[in-house]
Amino acid sequence: MTTFPTEAARRLALDGGRPARSPERPWPAWPRATSAAARALEDTLRSGRWAISGPWTGQPSRNQLFAERFAAFHGVPHCVPCSNGSSALAIALAAVGVGPGDEVVVPGLTWVANASSVFRAQAVPVLVDLDPETLCLSAKAVEEALTPRTRAITAVHLYGSMADMDALRRIADRAGVALIEDCSHVHGATWRGARAGSLGDVGAFSMQQTKLMTSGEGGALITARSDLAARLEQLRADGRAFTGATRPGALELAEVGDVLGTNQSLSEFQAALLVEALERLEEENRRRAQNAGFLDEKLGALPGLAPVPCSPAQTARAWYAYVLRIEGGELGGIGLETLAARLEAELHFPVERIYRPLNDHVLYRPTEALGDRLSPRQREELDPRRFVLPECDRAYAECIALHHRLLLGDEADMADVVAAFEKVWAG
């Protein structure tokens, strides 16, 4: 352990002591405004093509460029960019046929969109508990939640750990239900060498500002199934699909209308940003992995503190956030919130709680949203409080999260993180 010679350095920053890290020293920025991104935006601005629904300029659209590269990166033939991660989920559910009365299994601890997208499809979200190791939905819990009404499973790879894709693929195949992967936290992660998103029927991604690659708002869908690809594409653009224009000035999207879509297209500016973001993703992920490995070793040595691990089958991680579990949610009688506040004061970096479980979440109250238009039976089915989720509750009570931009820091930054934890742990 580091020793702190002076009283001012030993006193917690929260109590007026000198912080473990100088408040003047900036943390890495996220999103990153690279000059390549600025050039890409400028080029798009002058290109005359700002939307996929705009006329062809004789050049491939940025959307198509990004789609080709993102698909190739994942080793799948199809990618459909879309407006955000929530629309990606809604489109994925519609593409696999989720509709009124169906059930979709989703984890009980995740971003609210995983449940609300199911609710918006007029289906019933069935919340399941977590695997306490990885914080991802438990395959055993998924299996127990299946009913004849189950139409799909949404596997969310949470914070950087992947759900057990071997077990979930097997369960989904045996039950004849679709498997959707929400990869919003794991751009670039791999499971037995295969990219996250390529193992389910559809992989859905968010490229919102905080994610590992971003265009501010943005999203994408990938699939190896060409039947689904055609549906995803049309669902994304009001039933229109790329046909390949033959002369500049002609529209590239043709009105096909096999399915009734909505417009959830990604703009050309956003696509330009994603092309650039994809180029640096792997290098950024390598840096995050290196720093996370260092923190795992140092912070994992502190009593009652454990970085959340991933399954041995996960061959590469991609941290949306660096999550640590504090055994029992306290240290010598000091509660989680106080520990987080103390760390934050030492580091001048937000130390956050993880998602609140969805059976008690202010943003997920489906029965209130529909009021008295629900039958008593529907009301019962949609009430999230019917789910008992002890591992979700325990994880929420015990875990803290640091956003991935911290992991883009250098060695001195990581030393500061370790010093802050050691200081707070010394009390």
Site residues (vs ligand PLP, CB under 6 A): 84-86, 110-111, 113-114, 156, 182, 184-185, 206, 208, 219
DSSP per-residue codes, 48-111: S--STTSBP-SS--HHHHHHHHHHHHHT-SEEEEES-HHHHHHHHHHHTT--TT-EEEEESSS-
Q: Per the structure block, which two tokens stand in for 359?
A: 């059976």
Q: 111 or 425: whose CB is closer to ligand PLP?
A: 111
Closest CB to ligand PLP among residues 113, 277: 113
Q: How far apart are CA 69 and CA 147, in angstroms?
A: 38
Among residues 220 and 417, whose Cβ is nearest to ligand PLP? 220
Q: Which is nearer to ligand PLP, 207 or 347 (CB)?
A: 207
Q: Of 111, 110, 84, 34, whose CA–CA distance to 208 is shortest?
A: 84
Q: Which of 111, 206, 197 is nearest to 158 (CA)?
A: 111
Residue 359 Cβ vs ligand PLP, minimum distance, rounded to whole Å = 17
**By C-beta, is 81 or 85 nearer to ligand PLP?**
85
Least CB distance from residue 19 to ligand PLP, whole Å? 30
Q: Which residue is closest to ligand PLP by CB?
A: 85
- Least distance from ligand PLP to the Cβ atom of residue 355, Å: 9
Q: Taking a C-beta distance cutoff of 8 angstroms, is the pair 306, 300 a contact?
A: yes
SS3 296: helix
Token readout for 253 is: 């999207």
Q: Taking the complex as a whole, how short is the minimal distance between the CB of residue 95 and ligand PLP, in angstroms?
A: 16
* Closer residue to ligand PLP, CB minimum distance, 113 or 152: 113
Sign of the torsion formed by the C-alpha atoms of 223, 85, 129 and 396:
positive
Toward ligand PLP, which CB reaches closer, 82 or 139?
A: 82
Smaller CB separation from ligand PLP, 216 or 249: 216
Angle between helices 35-47 and 268-299 (to 10 degrees): 160
Could you tell me the smallest distance in angstroms from the CB atom of residue 110 to ligand PLP? Answer: 5
> In whole angstroms, how close is the CB of 44 to ligand PLP at the nearest point?
21
Smallest distance from ligand PLP to CB 409, Å: 22
- Output 184 or 267, the one with its CB closest to ligand PLP: 184
Kindly state the smallest distance separating residue 181's Cβ from ligand PLP, in Å.
10
Determine the length of the chain.
Answer: 427
Min separation Cβ 374 and ligand PLP, Å? 25
Rounded to whole angstroms, what are the CA distances from 185 to 21, 48, 211, 214, 369? 28, 33, 7, 12, 28
What is the crossing angle of helices 85-95 and 226-236, to 10°? 130
If we measure between CA atoms, which residue out of 334, 209, 195 comes closest to residue 273? 209
Helical H segments across 258-352, by residue range: 268-299, 336-347
303 Cβ contact list (under 8 Å, min separation 6): 331, 425
